[in-house]
Structure 1
Amino acid sequence: MTDRKGPVELVMIEFPGNQFNGNVAPTFFDMVDKGLIRVIDLVVASKDADGTISVLEIEDLDDELSEALQKLTEEEDGLLSEEDLLELAAELPENWTALMILFENTWVGEFAEAVRESGGRVVLDERIPRPLVEEARAAVIAAAESV
């Protein structure tokens, strides 16, 4: 197992109508190439109109895509179980596909290491979902406009 320096995150991205086309791949590969993230696992799951769930690991994808993605990942048994993946996929609406990515935020680890080496310590590390940020921003703008 690789020595972890940054927080590990699981992100699930949904695509309506089972229309996952891979257009996110260039941006994804760019983040990996820049060293911002390190991919640990990547899974594609879908739910059909009748509620049937399919979970595809990298090796189950077409050969070219599978080969490219396997170069990015470091499989570590036990981090995402089949039970975990099925539970997440069960939340999908019918006829939707999800891309699930387990990755390390390497940039955070490097920054945290620099903080520790300078005698500091990280005391809070919390993710604020984008919709909450937008909501708070809109409230501040509305309050400023009403003054």
Structure 2
Amino acid sequence: MATSYGTVELVVLEFPQDAIPSPVREEITRLARQPQVRLIDLVRVQRTAEGDLEVTEALEVGEQLGVHGLDLVGAGLVGQEDIDEVGEGLRPGTSALLIVVEHLWSKGLVASVRDAGGMLRSTERIPHDVVAAVIEGPPAR
């Protein structure tokens, strides 16, 4: 029988500079220690000022971020196609961080659906601005 996993998501964070800001590094470190999610792959893509694309793979990115001892069981889930797509959109002097997370809170739900003969059909990320607009209403003028 296959190992059960929760929902897995690729999150792409883009920065207007080539370095990952300190507050973001701190949040990724905090995220890596949370029991509800598991970081399973991590890749940094940077477009140099000269226009070259540089890619830093999982464990080296973890060390750069100060997150040591990561158990990146899904290293390689960020594929070359993902890297190429993100890299195409980066302007010189900018960078992006591609993070694959498993939502551990959903592991039992996904397993119970599969055991009932069902399947996880899709997941979709709803952008922050859309959520805020619906819940909080339109901004005051």
Fold in common (TM above 0.5): yes
What's the RMSD between the two structures over aligned residues?
A: 3.4
Does structure 2 conserve the Cα–Cα contact (< 8 Å) formed by 1:59 and 1:66?
no
Does structure 2 conserve the Cα–Cα contact (< 8 Å) formed by 1:7 and 1:108?
yes
Cα gap change, 1:113/1:75 in structure 2, threshold over 3 Å: closer, same or farther? closer
TM-score by length of 1: 0.69
- Residue 100 of structure 1 and its aligned partner are, at CA, apart by 0.7
Cα gap change, 1:58/1:70 in structure 2, threshold over 3 Å: closer, same or farther? farther
Q: Distance in 1 between matches of 2:121 and 2:79?
A: 30
Cα gap change, 1:90/1:124 in structure 2, threshold over 3 Å: closer, same or farther? closer
Aligned residues: 135
Larger Rg: 1
Residues 42-57 of structure 1 mapped to structure 2, 5 A cutoff: 42-57=42-57
Does structure 2 conserve the Cα–Cα contact (< 8 Å) formed by 1:18 and 1:96?
yes
Does structure 1 conserve the Cα–Cα contact (< 8 Å) formed by 2:59 and 2:70?
no
One-letter identity of the residue aligned with 1:82? Q
Is the counterpart of residue 95 in structure 1 residue 93 in structure 2? Answer: yes
Does structure 2 conserve the Cα–Cα contact (< 8 Å) formed by 1:15 and 1:97?
yes
Indicate the percent of aligned positions where both proteins have the same amino acid.
27
Counterpart for residue 3 of structure 2: 3
- Residue 93 of structure 1 and its aligned partner are, at CA, apart by 2.4
One-letter identity of the residue aligned with 1:97? S
TM-score by length of 2: 0.72
